[in-house]
Amino acid sequence: MSGGSAALQPPADAVKPVRHADAPAPGELLGAHYSQCFGCGGEQPHGLHLEARAGEGVSLTAEFTVQSAHQGAPGLAHGGVLTTALDETLGSLNWLLRTVAVTGRLETDFARPVPVGTTLYLSAEVTAVAGRKIYSSAVGRIDGPDGPVAVRADALFIEVKVDHFIDHGRQEEIRAAMNDPDQIRRARAFEVNP
């Protein structure tokens, strides 16, 4: 891990994260939290289609294969896309806490270029919680889950109420998500504590 800036150092009164009793079992796929999500949604043709799997404690692994639509330089993944993959992976951790949270700060180190066609093997964990603040870290490896680190990130997520999305999201999409008859999908669109 890079260690991150001072804003990403947990305060002295931070506590260890507690996995929610109803969190998916280790090894279980989390599935897309929202079909239109650019990170994981199946209905975004150029999205990352990232797949996350619960790990032990408050950790998970995820995979994302870089497509030609994700290029920055010829044949190489765009750095912002790689950061999106890290953001999505880190954000998915909050489902294991059953906490609704948004990214407040995200710091990324780019250690190696990532060619198109590469599968990025991500692993992430929540390291500490302090009130509404959730501290987490992730790494992305290439050439296999134990391969060299290509990207790493430290993040601070801030717990919010579901009203955050309802107040700020475009009404068209909010209504469609709220009207989804599948209760789990409806809840996960906002990552709501069920």
Q: Which positions from 160 to 189 touch ligand CO8 by CB under 6 A, shown as an x/- string?
A: x-----------------------------
| Neighbouring-strand partners of residue 126 | 136
DSSP assignment of 144-186? STTS-EEEEEEEEEEE--THHHHHHS-HHHHHHHHT-S-HHHH
In our burial notation (b when 16+ CB lie closer than 10 A, e otherwise), range 14-26 reads: beebebeeebbee
Residue 132 makes contact with ligand CO8 by CB under 6 A: yes
Q: Residue 91 interacts with ligand CO8 (CB under 6 A)?
A: yes
Using CB under 6 A, count the residues that bind ligand CO8: 19
Radius of gyration of the chain (CA): 16
Return the number of the residue (115 or 131) whose C-beta is nearest ligand CO8. 131
Segment contacting ligand CO8 by CB under 6 A, of 43-51, 87-95, 110-118, 135-143: 87-95
Site membership for ligand CO8, residue 103 (CB under 6 A): yes
Q: Is 105 in the site for ligand CO8 (CB under 6 A)?
A: yes
